Structure 1
Amino acid sequence: MIQTKIKEAIKKYSNELTDIRRKLHSEPELSWQEEKTTEFICQYLEQLGIAHRRTEPTGVIATIEGKRSGKTVALRGDMDALSVEELNKELSYVSKEEGKMHACGHDAHTAMLLIAAKVLQEMKDELPGNVRLIFQPAEEVAEGARAMVKQGAVDKVDNIFGIHIWSQMPIGKISCTPGPSFASADLFKVTFKGKGGHGAIPHDCIDTAIVASSFVMNVQTVVSRTIDAQHPAVLTIGKMVVGTRFNVIAENAVIEGTVRCFDPQTRDHIEKQLQHYADHVASLYGATARVEYTRGTQAVINDKYSADLVQKVAATAFGEESLFSEKPTMGGEDFSFYLDEVPGSFALVGSGNPEKDTQWAHHHGKFNIDEDALAIGAELYAQYAWVYLNE
């Protein structure tokens, strides 16, 4: 089922794989600012003789054309970093950019996909079809995948596969189960307007500190009392700005938060309930409310055929013991926008190892990966493409 040449080649290039990852880690670039990363990818693909083109403003789409005609499978790796100060100061490849860090593993994704591309390019005469390579910017702001789709990333693609390094899973483990994997991730903003005044005469005012506080306490019942408990959902208030001074009744209050779920009907219901609760709480106190609801990423729902294929590939390439069933996460992933266009799946590759201090959560300043995961991810990319095209 798997291609032994791929396994041998990944092993041969393992040092180069690590070097690429460390280079990218030390030179992080934020969403839509990945100029150096894009240029590095283009130069690397140029040396390999892989046809490619830059996307706007950053990112790369490339295609490895097999000698024989067949299907086209896409492999996606994201490449943007985060506004996080790296705390791993002892690393030889620590971030050179103050306040910027690859705190989510996108440096690893890019490195793994580049080495997978190198190996597949060497085998292109044996490929019965084509491999599309998508080096995506701006995943962290949930905009990159949609932009890449608009610029032709999945045109004439039959299937797509993506990987995310996962520090919450042990090194050597791979998870890709059919059905929900990542939740939809939406943003909302509620603005209350009341009537300000002196703190000594509250009876002449409409205090939005009270209005906003009431809303925060009551809106939690949207999930706990209006949604089927078998349809998981999260409604989180992350920010509340109210008032200007200790003895001034607040005239305005602004609340911001996020909604996460897997079911489209649940998503629609929560959006309507936010407006309903805001209007009624405001009316109770004589204030007004304005709700702005912004839909972010869709839920990542793994196609059964693709997810089952990943499991078969992983079990054959790395052993049955490599298979892991990670629970769906309420985190968001814009890989979902590719799955709106073509069937596919999204796998998690474990990189957590307390002995190497790589168990820290994603987006934490101490985040790092057990680099043994790099070869696993690179091989999984390449083996999946090989097996899919030969199915």
Structure 2
Amino acid sequence: MDKQIFDEMIATRRHLHTIPEEGWTEFQTTYIVAQRLQQLGYTDIRLGTQVINPKCVLGRHEKTVQAAIERAEDSGVPHEFIEKIEGYTGCVAVLNTGRPGPVTAFRFDMDCNPVEETDDPDHAPNRLGFRSTHHGLMHACGHDAHTALGLAVARWIMENKDQLKGTFKLVFQPAEEGVRGAVAIVGSGILDDVDIIIGSHCGGKVKLSEVGLVHKGVLASTKFDIYYKGTPSHAGNNPHKGHSALLAASATAMMIVGIPRHGDGASRVAVGRLVAGEGRNVTPVNAYMQTEVRGETAEINEYLCEKIEHIVKGNAEAYEVEGRIEKVGEATTIIECPDVLNDLKEIAQSLPEVTKVVDLCSPAGSEDFTMMLRHVVQRGGVGGMFRWGCNHHGHHRADFDLQDTQSMPIGFEVFTRYAQKVNGI
């Protein structure tokens, strides 16, 4: 790997680590990406509502977005840029080489997690001076590295464009956490002409110096926000006049975790958050829940969704409260394209830094890249996903790290060598 590209990639990753932004609030990150792409010579850079269909957006909260806009502007992001993107994050750079060839898309996600970074002095960002400066937010899943890797790949493509054919689309995606962003990118039409799409992720079960090829195991998933609204009353004087949103939500939580697991494959349910009530002696009027389901197949996932919908409706009636359920995230299962995975395998095996190439097939997490892949395949294209390994204590933890100087170059080499293989002259 070219030393200048390497040094810039690591510096970019560490800078992005200091300014983590959660889904749909990546204004500083999107600005940094767009500015760097422009400096590299990309003239077709599409932003905000050019690559995000607002009608397809899931799980975007206006108050959180507005607070992030204020923070971004205070940090130097021009107001004109915010107006240009119309309040929506995301960026796609398009490079047409002028020579016939495939339209190849590479996906890189940008958002962080609502995690407070550890104070452990041995944690690399603390030891080396690039810990998060945003309270309660951290790149605890490596998307800072994904974005920096994407910019490094963009630089390589631009510097080698005379040896390449076809068109490249470099997709810098918001809101992967909670599987919220891909649906809106697909809805914009930016991927309609794509022939090949490749995505990657650091870590998971793949260790440092390893590459994992994703064959199966990515679970379909749906994320729900559930709202209950009851009737207030004095808990001492008039308890019979109140209807408790808290009790309806509590019953819902217990019933969700009690949903029978499906016999045809892996199924997962989770209640991650429940906030309810106004005071000690007031019948709780409001309750808010964050839940999710996952299934090894789309059918299993749909089975779980239907169960939750029935539970919410039933408890609203039983506790005499209003109940509302909102879908705020969606992903599907991975589609296996053997030829693409074989190409990625050959590339990974050719890298001297890679000690092992593993096939990933067992049930794991979810990934909204699957929505992009499904869209491309349905239109006659192909795609695939790989993991470049790192050693970690677990994703979404306060002490997550990925040994950037060792792990990221492997991801870079897989992307750029794949570009050479399918778009090389």
Which category of TM-score, normalised to the shorter sequence, fits these structures? 0.7 to 0.9
Query: In 2 relative to 1, CA 262–378 (structure 1 residues): closer, same or farther, beyond 3 Å?
Result: same
Q: 1:185 to 1:11 in 2, by over 3 A?
A: farther
Question: Conserved in 2, the CA contact under 8 Å of 1:185 and 1:261?
Answer: no
> For the Cα contact (< 8 Å) 2:221–2:292, is it kept in 1?
no
**Which residue of 2 is the match for residue 347 of structure 1?**
386
Query: Which residue in 2 is equivalent to 1:272?
Result: 306
Q: Corresponding residue for 1:4?
A: none
2:329 to 289, 296, 299: 296
**Conserved 8 A contact 1:192-1:254:** no
In the alignment, structure 1 residue 36 sits paired with structure 2 residue 67: no
Q: Superposed, which structure 2 residues align to 1:188-227 within 5 Å?
A: 188-189=225-226, 191=228, 193=230, 198=235, 212-224=249-261, 227=262
Alpha-carbon distance change, 238 to 23 in structure 1, aligned in 2, over 3 angstroms:
closer
Q: Does 1:98 align with 2:132?
A: no
Would you say the 8 A contact 1:192–1:289 is kept in 2?
A: yes
Q: Does 1:77 align with 2:108?
A: yes
Confirm or deny that 1:149 pairs with 2:186. Answer: yes
User: In the TM superposition, what is the alpha-carbon distance from 1:376 to its structure 2 partner?
Assistant: 0.5
Deviates more, 1:189-198 or 1:289-298: 189-198
Q: Which residue of 2 aligns with 1:310?
A: 344
Stretch moving more, 52-61 or 366-375: 52-61
Would you say 1:63 and 2:102 are equivalent positions? no
Give TM-score scaled by structure 1 length. 0.81
Q: What's the secondary structure of 1:323's corresponding residue?
A: strand
- Mark the CA change 1:148 to 1:244 in structure 2 (over 3 Å): closer, same or farther: closer
Kept in 2, the 8 Å contact 1:234–1:261? The answer is yes
Write the letter of the residue equivalent to 2:169.
R
Matches within 5 A, 1:5-44: 9-10=1-2, 13-44=5-36
C-alpha offsets along residues 311-343 of structure 1, whole Å, 9 cap, x if unaligned? 232123357742123455553332223123213
In the TM superposition, what is the alpha-carbon distance from 1:116 to its structure 2 partner?
1.7
Shift in Å, 1:281: 5.3
Tell me the secondary structure at the aligned position of residue 396 of structure 2.
coil
Deviations 1:198-225 (A, max 9, x none): 469988877666655444334334233x
Instruction: Give the total of aligned pairs.
Output: 373
Relative to 1, partners in 2 of residues 1:99 and 1:218: Cα closer, same or farther, differing over 3 Å? Answer: closer
Partner amino acid, structure 1, of 2:19: E
Shift of 1:267: 2.3
Task: Quote the residue 1:333 is aligned against.
Answer: 367
The Cα shift of 1:244 comes to 4.9
Q: What is the distance in 2 between the residues matched to 1:293 and 1:94? A: 34
Sequence identity (%): 29
Q: Which moved more, 1:330-339 or 1:190-199?
A: 190-199
Deviation of 1:382 after TM superposition, in Å, equals 1.0
Kept in 2, the 8 Å contact 1:192–1:287? The answer is no
CA distance in 2, matches of 1:320, 1:104: 22
Separation in 2, partners of 1:203, 1:46: 65
Structure 1 unaligned blocks of 5 or more: 1-8, 353-358
1:99-142 CA-partner distances (Å, limit 9, x unpaired): 33322211111111222222222222222322221122332354
| 8 Å CA contact 2:335, 2:370 repeated in 1 | no
Aligned equivalent of 1:86, options 110, 114, 117: 117
Q: Which residue of 2 aligns with 1:257?
A: 291
Report the RMSD for the aligned CA atoms in angstroms: 3.3
**8 Å Cα contact 1:176/1:325 also seen in 2:** yes
Which residue identity is paired with 2:171? I
2:198 equivalent in structure 1: 161
Larger displacement relative to structure 2 (197-206 or 27-36) = 197-206
Q: Which moved more, 1:164-173 or 1:317-326?
A: 317-326
Contact between 2:243 and 2:321, CA under 8 Å: does it hold in 1?
Answer: no
Q: Is the 8 A contact 2:271 2:290 kept in 1?
A: yes
3-state SS, counterpart of residue 16 of structure 1: helix
Counterpart position of 2:155: 118
Distance 1:320 1:208, change over 3 A: closer
Q: Greater strand share, 1 or 2?
A: 1
Q: Give the Cα–Cα distance (whole angstroms) in 2 for the partners of residues 24 and 139 of structure 1.
A: 16
Deviations 1:147-206 (A, max 9, x none): 333444324210110111125531111112323424323214163758966469988877
In structure 2, stretches of 5+ residues that fail to align are 49-84, 119-124, 377-381
Q: Does 1:322 align with 2:356?
A: yes
> Cα–Cα, structure 1 residues 291 and 91, in superposed 2: closer, same or farther, change >3 Å?
same
Contact 1:180 1:302 in 2 (8 A): no
Report the Cα distance in structure 1 between the residues aligned to 2:186 and 2:312, rounded to whole angstroms.
36
Q: Which structure has the larger Rg over C-alpha atoms?
A: 1
State how far apart, in whole Å, the 2-side matches of 1:167 and 1:257 are: 22
**Distance in 2, Cα, partners of 1:221 & 1:85:** 31
